[in-house]
């Protein structure tokens, strides 16, 4: 995030929330950022990509950390046409190691079996 974005962010007070989870959860900090700064802040932390015909956007609001989320976008050629596998793994809740494990041990072995017409 550019230093000018940090300067604009400082003008918005930090607010705490439990995200509706109730006592014992959080608190987590956030800022109610308003336009025109909101769009520039989102653009600074967003990573966009296109895989085939699917547009993907990933953003990690904590700029000191990399995203723990992972995704899979694959086209599977089946007998009745092309199926699209779209999967999002939320590393924030599952933790990065589990997300990577699921993506590599579940999706990778299933794809060849499905596209050959075999049952996984």
The answer to whether residues 80 and 67 touch, using CB atoms and an 8 Å cutoff, is: no
Domain ranges of the chain: 1-58, 68-120
* Residue 56 tokens, joined: 């993907």
pLDDT tens-digit readout, 54-99 = 898 887 666 556 666 777 888 888 888 888 888 887 766 557 677 7
The tokens 């990577």 sit on which residue?
100
Find all residues with CB under 8 Å of 47, minimum gap 6, and list them: 57, 58, 59, 67
Q: What percent of the chain has pLDDT over 90?
A: 0
Residues 31, 37, 39, 44: is their CA dihedral positive or negative?
negative
For residues 49 and 59, the model is more confident at: 49
100-120: average pLDDT: 67
How much is the pLDDT for 29?
A: 85
Query: CA–CA separation, 49 vs 34, rounded Å?
Result: 26
The tokens 């600074």 sit on which residue?
44
Confidence of residue 33 (pLDDT cuts 50, 70, 90): confident
φ, ψ for residue 51, nearest 5 deg: -120, 110
Helix and strand tally (H, E) in the chain? Answer: 5, 6
In 3D space, the residue among 37, 101, 97, 92 whose CA is nearest the CA of residue 69 turns out to be: 92
In 3D space, the residue among 84, 92, 88 whose CA is nearest the CA of residue 103 turns out to be: 88
How much is the pLDDT for 3?
A: 44
How much is the pLDDT for 65?
A: 62
């Amino acid at each position: 995030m550019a230093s000018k974005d940090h300067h604009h962010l400082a003008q918005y007070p930090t607010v705490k929330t439990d995200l509706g989870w109730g006592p014992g959860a959080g608190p987590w900090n956030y800022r109610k950022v308003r336009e025109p700064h909101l769009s520039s802040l989102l653009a600074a932390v967003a990573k966009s990509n296109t895989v085939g015909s699917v547009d993907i956007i990933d953003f990690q609001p904590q700029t000191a950390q990399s995203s723990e989320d992972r995704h899979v976008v694959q086209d599977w050629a089946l007998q009745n046409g092309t199926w699209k596998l779209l999967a999002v793994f939320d590393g924030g809740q599952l933790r990065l190691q589990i997300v990577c494990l699921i993506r590599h041990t579940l999706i990778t072995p299933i794809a060849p079996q499905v596209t050959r017409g075999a049952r996984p």
